[in-house]
Amino acid sequence: MGIAATSVYIHFADRDALVLAALEHCYAGLLSAVDDAESSAADPVAALRARTALLGAWSREHPGLYKVLHESTLNRRRDMSFKEEMAERTTAAIRRCMDAGVAPRGDAETVSLDLRTAVHGAVSLRVNEPELNWPPLEEQVERFLTKLVGVPPAEG
């Protein structure tokens, strides 16, 4: 950019504020990518699969960002409420599956929390223990969708 790396700090109150601004920008890009993946799906289950698959792929491509977004102490020091939108959109995607009759009716918020917990756990373990012999994340996520959300298994 033609400026000294330290020059960027004068625009933020402290290092945390700079990191938070960068994270919020990255998260906005992730939300947009998830929306794009979901919008091309033919039905609510395909949309939920696309959303969840993209999140898994993103975490694999950006393990450092994933760790800062979800595992750093910044989460305890700063308001990261911008992450709530992803949770709300996941809940809405699950509710659409329930409303379409392709997932059992229930509390979409609780199911969403269970699904997000399982997916984040699977991703976090892969990021933090990459040397273990993990099954493909896509297969594991498919099991989560079937067992936790109740959607029919993917064909193929």
Does residue 12 belong to any structural domain of this protein? yes
- The pLDDT of residue 47 is above 90: yes
Q: How many domains does the chain have?
A: 1
What is the b/e burial string over 102-118, where b = at least 16 CB atoms within 10 angstroms of the residue's CB? bbeeeebeebbebbbeb
Does residue 156 belong to any structural domain of this protein? no
For 38-99, the three-class secondary structure string (H helix, E strand, C coil) is HHCCCCHHHHHHHHHHHHHHHHHHCHHHHHHHHHCCHHHHCCCHHHHHHHHHHHHHHHHHHH
CA dihedral sign of residues 29, 35, 41, 46 = positive
Find the CATH number of the domain harbouring 59: 1.10.357.10
Task: Check residues 69 and 126 and name the one with the higher pLDDT.
Answer: 126
136-150 pLDDT, tens digit each? 999 999 999 999 999
The range of the structural domain enclosing residue 70 comes to 5-149
Task: Supply 11's token pair.
Answer: 């625009």
Q: Specify the pLDDT at position 94.
A: 98
Does residue 86 belong to any structural domain of this protein? yes
- The overall average pLDDT reported for the chain is 88
23-40 pLDDT, tens digit each? 888 888 889 999 999 998
